Copies of this chain bind each other. A is one copy, B any other.
Amino acid sequence: MHATAITPSNRSASKAKVVRGLLEGLLEGKWQGGNRFTETLGAEAFGVSRTPVREALLDLQALGLIELRRNCGAIIHPFGENDLREIYAVRSLFEVEATRVAASRINLAKVETLIEAFEKIRGSGGIDPEWEFDRGLHQLIADSSGNRRLSTEIGRYSSLVQTMREIVGARAQGIHSASADEHLEILRALHRRDASDASSAMRDHLQQASDSAVAAMLEIRQR
């Protein structure tokens, strides 16, 4: 539904490729020192022109991952455990607030549908399809917040996290997706229209997700 800035399916495919490549480098731990990365360099590295590279760099700058200085190229800051936690901290800020607000407005029928979906997952023990529903849940909450700006911000970070997931998923084995239980706790609180419990459950959920992401990154780097 949202025009996701980072992974717009196939819209701006080149830009997405560049973003992914740079994120891979960040997660792997390349660019340890304050490395410089010019648009031309990126264009050659990824086999595209400067234009999508430039747009990718602007996006990454807006996410605080790089610093752009005129006629200097992008300064890539070393990316560590702490940076990943910061990303989840901001995401948590957004989504906890969205959950709190959404509790009194969210469409209960949709909540029930998702509850059934997650219960089915928990029963079957399937892991793979869960991310799909996870995205659906976060999207539903964002849209139900009634604040377009908040929803947009959530979408931006959602795309970032999604891309990181894909990168990590392709390399790390033991990356465990969030447990259906956490999702169900959020959903049941929402169904009761209990803003406090719901937002609290969302906070815990994202804390888990944060720890999990850090573990996955460290696993990747130990190779």
Contact = CB atoms under 8 A, between A and B. Distances in A.
Interface residues of A, number: 30
A68 B55 CA distance: 15
Contacts of A175: none
A64 interface: yes
**Count of this chain's copies in the oligomeric assembly:** 2
Given A3-B67, A5-B61, A93-B94, A87 B149 contact: yes
A156 interface: yes
Majority DSSP secondary structure for residues of A touching B: helix
A89 interface: yes
Interface of A: 3, 5, 11, 55, 58, 61-64, 67-70, 77, 83, 86-87, 89-90, 93-94, 97, 147-153, 156
A112 to B, nearest CB: 28
Nearest to A71: B11
Given A11-B70, A86-B147, A94-B93, A152 B3 contact: no
A39 to B, nearest CB: 13
Contact of A93 (B58, B63, B93, B151): B93
Contact of A3 (B61, B77, B86): B61
19 contacts: A3-B61, A3-B67, A3-B68, A5-B61, A62-B152, A62-B156, A63-B152, A64-B148, A64-B149, A64-B151, A64-B153, A77-B148, A86-B148, A86-B149, A89-B147, A90-B149, A93-B94, A93-B97, A153-B153
